Amino acid sequence: MKKVITYGTFDLLHYGHVNLLQRAKELGDYLIVAISTDEFNWNMKQKKCYFSYEERKRLVEAIRYVDLVIPEESWEQKVSDVKEFKVDTFVIGNDWEGKFDFLKDYCEVVYLPRTPEISTTQIKKDLQK
Ligand code: C2G
């Protein structure tokens, strides 16, 4: 079984997220999604989510491509996650191009093109108009 892992906030879930998750699943047989906790988002990304971790987890778990959701609580957990879950491939959007190349010592690293014209930030801006 080929295992794939990806990380993200997935707030205000949209088709850009789903496109990423669909392509991530195509890289293997089992997709793990590590969703940033509310604390991690606020402390490390200065992001205030609209949906709580539990709500974002519920939404992502409902996506057919996703097999397991785990919490992302720190930047440092990726190596231990890859080892613990025996992950073959780490994948993330290319807005992170090169940032996680250190994982190449442990698994394949794939950066996928982002879906253009959609982002949680843009949704929030558009709703304020
Ligand atoms: N994404 C995408 N296209 C978009 C928007 C997002 O492909 N239009 C991808 C991102 O590249 C990422 C995933 O969807 O791979 C989740 O996006 P975010 O929730 O914005 O993730 P981010 O806040 O960048 O968190 O440790 C890594 C971080 O947790 C990533």
pLDDT at 96: 98
Tell me how far apart the alpha carbons of residues 98 and 129 are, in angstroms, rounded to a whole number.
Answer: 35
Q: What is the pLDDT of residues 41-80, one digit of tens each?
A: 999 888 899 999 999 999 999 999 999 999 999 999 999 9
CA 120–ligand 1 middle distance (angstroms): 9
Which ligand 1 atom lies nearest to the CA of residue 10?
Answer: 19
DSSP 115: P
Average pLDDT over residues 111-122: 97
Q: What is the pLDDT of residue 90?
A: 99
Q: Residue 45's pLDDT is what?
A: 83
Q: 30 forms bridges with which residues in the sheet? A: 3
pLDDT of residue 25: 98
41 touches 48 (CB < 8 A): yes
> Measured from the CB, is residue 37 less than 6 Å from ligand 1?
no
CA 13 – CA 28 distance, rounded (Å) = 22
Measured from the CB, is residue 92 less than 6 Å from ligand 1?
A: yes
95-115, pLDDT tens digit by residue? 999 999 999 999 999 999 999
Question: What average pLDDT does the chain have?
Answer: 97
